Structure 1
Amino acid sequence: MIGLCMGLAGVVWSQLLVDDFTLAWNHSIEKVRWEEDYRVAPSGLLLGEARVKGSGAGMEIPDDARLHDGSWHYQRQLPPLQPLRLGRTPQAGDYHLCIDGRCLVLSHWLGPPQASQPAVEMWSCELG
């Protein structure tokens, strides 16, 4: 059975039985919300649609994005991400992991972001 693993350097800190999820966060400087939808597949995490509320420093909206309900919606063609590496520090705030419309901060599964551990990885994995 395939699920979502979270950890670092192949060391699993948490596992979730999910087929898909949304990763959401607020840009640390512009305070603009970003969301990315992923599907969990044996080959890795497949990025679907992404949404952003606005642009700013290092946050250019893609040319093919369309404005809908106050957010710019777009899709990127990326190979499966295996792993997806996220910077995670106390200063930047935490990511939200949304499953079936319910969003919780990554701290719920991993504990709070720590300066001594400034990254986390997510990947598809076999659940035992």
Structure 2
Amino acid sequence: MPRLLYINEKFGHDATIILDSGDACWISVGKRGVLVRSHRPSFWGGLLGSVFGRKLYQERNIYQALSVAQALAATFRPVPQIKCKDMMLKSFCTAAWRCSSPEQVKAVLNDPELLAA
């Protein structure tokens, strides 16, 4: 079962979820779009994973990111462990929560079929 490492809505909007594979999935939502990266959780990986981790998803158009977030919210049921006020962050975190590996997160977030729904 995935594990929520942290959610930060005070200084930016980001979260880290530890997937079933043991990889960490860092999700950042901001005015400039959405960025999702994967890294191995460790002290240095935690500090630098958001900068040097493998990029799973990036959308710089905030309107397109909102469209993806709405599609994700319609596709996945809410998870009680994810208590975000930010709808976009909550949608992306819920989608990542339902995945067991970074490859699966990448497939779900970049799926053109999902965006058409």
State the TM-score, normalizing by the size of structure 1: 0.30
Whose RCO is larger (CA < 8 A, sep 6+)?
A: 1
By percentage of residues, which structure has more strand?
Answer: 1
- Please identify the structure whose Cα radius of gyration is greater: 1
